[in-house]
């Protein structure tokens, strides 16, 4: 296989990022209305050519990322590469998703005094504050209440107020939040990865921050999952350093962006329980209760301070009502429901809902099992958190490609070069193709993702099979050095 230096891969990835950003100006998720006339359609021919350019750039970025993992670059070089690859996306229109328009519209709803947990962006005046953003929201989200916590809504409110809801500056304001989240992710990954030495720190940055799936969907698409991940990781870092009260509070803030961050409390509880003294019952109780009480107090305080009400408690399930093809439990439930409808005339919806609930119950059981293994000292708590989040995503009633980042960023800090890290590496390279730059999910996106998954699996298996040969050819020490550069 051909190979380049780290600098060569950096330049290749930067070229890919530039191509993706340039293509996004015509093929990205453009707003329905842009009073500035900057992000506007350019006709079907230009749009098709731009989409090809964006996909070509994305492929160059994926190839560069994959090769960069083998190049043995230093931490400083990796940070430089991250800056090179992220910079072209900063001024691009939204890529791969229209969610940012929902964020801006929801910020406008808070400013206008609407119940953001009782109605969707369609309640906004089309000619008023946030009207352009509301018109750009994806169809099934137009009348959907916000499933996000008050901490994120306050940030969206601040961006909407500062920019007057004007599309271009409002989107760029949301991107500033996404870039700040990326910076916090880098900070946390460096500190968690450093526990495994310099190679662990570099590997954590490579899989967790340099990941094309993160660059496209956090920097390019501005998904608030990036902010949730950043705060969750920061809380884990604090807990790992013995500051578990502060860590629990920060995880509480992460929960008030998106609720899945609550899984981190269980693993922080394991850290607390293992460090506590006294009878076992007391240690277990302290680990189970105290982090949750602290995070709960933060959640209540944030909700009261934001003034948005506690409606987020009832909107956590709204996403599950929207079918996504990546959700195995929703797919199985839908297929089983339709089969029973054909055979018995039964309503398929309750069947689908039952399968979804079973999936969530299985996810909770897996999370509890991972926490138990961690509490018994058989599994690192941070690694257990990463696996728990992956399990939650795999069995959730709604799954989007970027949800993989919940667990991938955590696993990156603990086992980027292990079996779990290799699986997440392949899935990251594949799922980045599932969504088109326009935000749609075309059939060819799944075909490209499947092809990338097959190619990635073959490459990983070949590298794994070659490891014993390297050990025999180079000797143990040299083989370890060579394997450290192999994903």
The whole-number pLDDT of residue 487 equals 40
pLDDT(110) > 90: yes
Helix (H, G, I), strand (E, B) or coil at 363: helix
pLDDT digit string, tens, across residues 429-481: 999 999 999 999 999 999 999 999 999 999 998 877 766 554 444 444 434 44
pLDDT(259) > 70: yes
Residues 6+ apart with CB under 8 A from 98: 29, 136, 137, 138, 141, 439
Quick one: average pLDDT of 348-375? 92
**How far apart (Å, rounded) are the C-alpha atoms in residues 222 and 384?**
27
Closest by Cα among 149, 105, 101 to 128:
105
Return the percentage of the chain with pLDDT > 70, whole number: 94
Q: If residue 328 lies in a helix (H) or strand (E), which one and from where to where?
A: helix 328-344
Quick one: average pLDDT of 351-362? 92
The whole-number pLDDT of residue 467 equals 61
pLDDT(310) > 80: yes
156 alpha carbon, distance to own chain's centre: 18
The whole-number pLDDT of residue 268 equals 92
Buried b (16+ CB within 10 A) or exposed e, 83-94: ebbbebbeebbb
pLDDT(1) > 70: no
pLDDT band at 284 (very low <50, low <70, confident <90, very high): confident
In whole numbers, what is the pLDDT of the chain averaged over residues?
A: 91
Quick one: average pLDDT of 183-194? 97
pLDDT digit string, tens, across residues 371-416: 999 988 899 999 999 999 999 999 999 999 999 999 999 999 999 9
Taking the CB of residue 310, how many other CB atoms lie within 10 A of it? 12
Quick one: average pLDDT of 233-241? 96
The whole-number pLDDT of residue 340 equals 85
Give the residue with greater pLDDT, 383 vs 337: 383
Quick one: average pLDDT of 116-124? 93
**How far apart (Å, rounded) are the C-alpha atoms in residues 451 and 458?**
11
Least confident of 128-142, 232-246, 307-321: 307-321
The whole-number pLDDT of residue 282 equals 76
């Amino acid at each position: 296989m051909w190979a380049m230096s780290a600098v060569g891969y950096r330049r290749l990835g930067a070229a890919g990022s530039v191509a993706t950003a340039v293509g996004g100006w015509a093929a990205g998720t453009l707003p329905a209305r842009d009073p500035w006339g900057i992000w506007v359609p350019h006709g079907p021919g230009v749009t098709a050519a731009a989409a090809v350019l964006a996909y070509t750039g994305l492929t160059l970025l994926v190839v560069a990322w994959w090769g960069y993992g083998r190049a043995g670059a230093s931490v400083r070089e990796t940070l430089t590469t991250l800056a090179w690859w992220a910079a072209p996306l900063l001024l691009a229109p939204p890529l791969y998703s229209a969610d940012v328009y929902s964020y801006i519209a929801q910020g406008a709803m808070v400013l206008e005094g609407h119940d953001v947990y009782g109605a969707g962006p369609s309640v906004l005046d089309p000619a008023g504050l946030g009207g352009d953003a509301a018109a750009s929201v994806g169809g099934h989200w137009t009348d959907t209440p916000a499933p996000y916590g008050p901490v994120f809504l306050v940030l969206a409110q601040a961006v909407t107020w500062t920019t007057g809801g004007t599309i271009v500056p409002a989107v760029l304001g949301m991107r500033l939040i996404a870039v700040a989240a990326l910076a916090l992710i880098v900070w946390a990954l460096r500190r968690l990865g450093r526990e495994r030495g310099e190679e662990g720190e570099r590997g954590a940055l490579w899989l967790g921050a340099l990941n094309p799936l993160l660059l496209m969907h956090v920097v390019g698409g501005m998904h608030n999952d990036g902010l949730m991940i950043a705060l969750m990781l920061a809380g884990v870092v604090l807990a790992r350093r013995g500051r578990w009260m502060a860590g629990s509070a920060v995880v509480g803030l992460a929960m008030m962006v998106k609720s899945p961050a609550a899984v981190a409390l269980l693993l922080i509880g394991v850290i607390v329980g293992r460090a506590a003294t006294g009878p076992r019952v007391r240690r277990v109780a302290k680990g189970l209760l105290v982090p949750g009480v602290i995070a709960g107090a933060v959640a209540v305080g944030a909700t009261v301070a934001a003034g948005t009400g506690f409606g987020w408690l009832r909107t956590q399930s709204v996403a599950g009502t929207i079918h996504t093809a990546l959700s195995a439990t929703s797919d199985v439930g839908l297929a089983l429901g339709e089969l029973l409808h054909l055979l018995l005339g039964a309503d398929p919806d309750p069947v689908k809902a039952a399968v979804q609930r079973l999936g969530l119950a299985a996810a909770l059981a897996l999370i509890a099992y991972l926490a138990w293994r961690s509490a018994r000292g058989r599994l690192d708590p941070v690694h257990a958190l990463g696996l728990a989040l992956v399990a939650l995503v795999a069995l959730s009633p709604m799954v989007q490609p970027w949800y993989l980042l919940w667990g991938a960023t955590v696993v990156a800090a603990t086992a980027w070069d292990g079996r779990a890290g290799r699986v997440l590496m392949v899935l990251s390279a594949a799922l980045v193709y599932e969504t088109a730059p326009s935000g749609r999910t075309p059939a060819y996106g799944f075909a490209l993702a499947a092809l990338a998954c097959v190619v990635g699996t073959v490459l990983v298996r070949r590298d794994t099979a070659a490891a014993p040969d390297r050990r025999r050819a180079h000797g143990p020490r040299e083989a370890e050095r060579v394997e450290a550069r192999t994903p």
